[in-house]
Amino acid sequence: MAQLWGGRFTKETDRLVYNFNASIGFDRRMYAQDIRGSKAHVDMLAKQKILTEAERDAITAGLDGILADVESGSLEITEEYEDIHSFVEANLIDRIGDVGKKLHTGRSRNDQVALDMKLYTRDEIDELQGLLKALLHVLHDLMKVHTETVMPGFTHLQKAQPITLAHHLGAYFEMFRRDYLRLRDIRRRMNECPLGAGALAGTTYPLDREYTAALLGFDRATANSMDSVSDRDYLIELLSAMSTVMMHLSRFSEEIIIWNTNEYRFVELDDAYSTGSSIMPQKKNPDIAELVRGKTGRVYGALMALLTAMKGLPLAYNKDMQEDKELVYDAIDTTKGCITLFTGMLNTMTFQKDVMEASAKGGFTNATDAADYLVKKGVPFRDAHGIVGALVLYCIEKNISLDQMTLEEYKAISPVFEQDVYEAIAMKTCVEKRLTKGAPGAEAMKAAIEENARWLSEIEGQQ
């Protein structure tokens, strides 16, 4: 049991208490951030003449040595230490002797852990944004290919009106674009450095907090030391943003699961992204999509758990806050894994264009267009609606689609129908006439795709 405290204690900590309290089992993943923060801290201490340059150099070299040894595997982060901060400090003292004991001057583990967690999540936000960008590129490329792939658009999961696959995918492009921008907002808002807040009330040393903040790539130092050590808002925002990403992935997964059924056959998953059954040889299951859908609950759970952990906490630091780590780590790992797998699945999936188009026809998705045709010939819309309803009923009885009716059959229901009805209700016409901004018509889609391309190149190389 290696602890940073103990001076005022007369008894050893109970082993179970020690284990219950320790966070090394999980916060070890922040070793690089912890070392980076400590190096910036001693740089600042030396600049402020709180440490000598020689002391700074010795501590920095020691910290670099720890980092190199952890990375090469020659130094193991063991459960013997209470947390990652104790591990680094104890190792530093072992390595460089008493001068290592000066590292923690003007610092508390409260501002230290607040910093480590910010450095860690900031890196992860960058990665999440990168993964979303890759997904947006796959969607964009598919949209370009499928501007003429007609499919039914659904409401209530009932076929409604014809759209194109590009249009359907375009809806997800918007969702993931918002997710990307949400992460960018969070990153900007959280980018303030808590180091120097001390335990809660700042320190009596003449620290230059803005200097440390700049060294670590923050926009500024945080404004209030109590808030600095007890703010977990940015983690809640991140969990909320990741929950929204997962919700979008889950909706899309649900559609893919439906589209991949024998009944729909709109898509076929690549063999590399499907799984089989141990008993039913014919099966090719969409396990990846199902797992993405299933894992959504985990990320929502983390959001609820952290909100609940924070809700009754008085200022400033309380140990309850240690609970943030496993929740956030797991949610980040889960979300990153899901975006990556989903992107691969989407990129390798085959879209069955003919099946999609036949489904649009078979589902009377052009019924609204047939009614609009009559309206153009002077029939009031309400009457046109009734006439087309009768057409649909007739088709259902005969098990045919609207375009398979003969002109005589049309005329028997309404004499207004002429030969040009076939052109008016052709799937291609139905889609192409929908030209308002955001609609699936070819011109409107072209504009949307151009705008997406412009935006994708704008965010290239940006956060």
- The contact set with ligand ARG (CB under 6 A) reads 23, 27, 83, 109-110, 113, 317, 319, 321-322, 325
C-alpha distances in Å from residue 322, one per residue of 24, 35, 170, 269? 11, 19, 40, 42
Distance in Å, CB of 32 to ligand ARG, minimum = 16
Q: Do residues 411 and 417 touch, judged by C-beta distance below 8 A?
A: yes
Distance in Å, CB of 327 to ligand ARG, minimum = 12
Number of residues assigned to the chain: 463
**What 3-state class would DSSP assign to 268?**
strand
Angstrom distance (rounded) from CA 463 to CA 459: 7
Which one-letter amino acid corresponds to residue 189? Answer: R
Indicate which residue of 38, 108, 274, 277 is catalytic. 277
Nearer CB in complex with ligand ARG: 174/320: 320
Q: Do residues 4 and 89 touch, judged by C-beta distance below 8 A?
A: yes
Nearer CB in complex with ligand ARG: 177/325: 325
Nearer CB in complex with ligand ARG: 4/407: 4
**In the annotation, is 156 catalytic?**
yes
Show contacts of 173-178: CB within 8 Å, 24+ apart.
173/136, 173/139, 173/140, 173/143, 173/452, 175/248, 176/132, 176/135, 176/136, 176/139, 176/245, 176/248, 177/136, 177/455, 178/244
**In the annotation, is 385 catalytic?**
no
Distance in Å, CB of 61 to ligand ARG, minimum = 26
Indicate which residue of 23, 137, 140, 156 is catalytic. 156
Backbone angle region of 157, left / alpha / beta, with phi > 0 → left and psi within -120 to 50 → alpha? left
Nearer CB in complex with ligand ARG: 23/334: 23
Distance in Å, CB of 321 to ligand ARG, minimum = 5
Phi–psi pair at 277, nearest 5 degrees: -110, 145
**What 3-state class would DSSP assign to 136?**
helix
Nearer CB in complex with ligand ARG: 318/352: 318
Catalytic positions, written as ranges: 156, 277
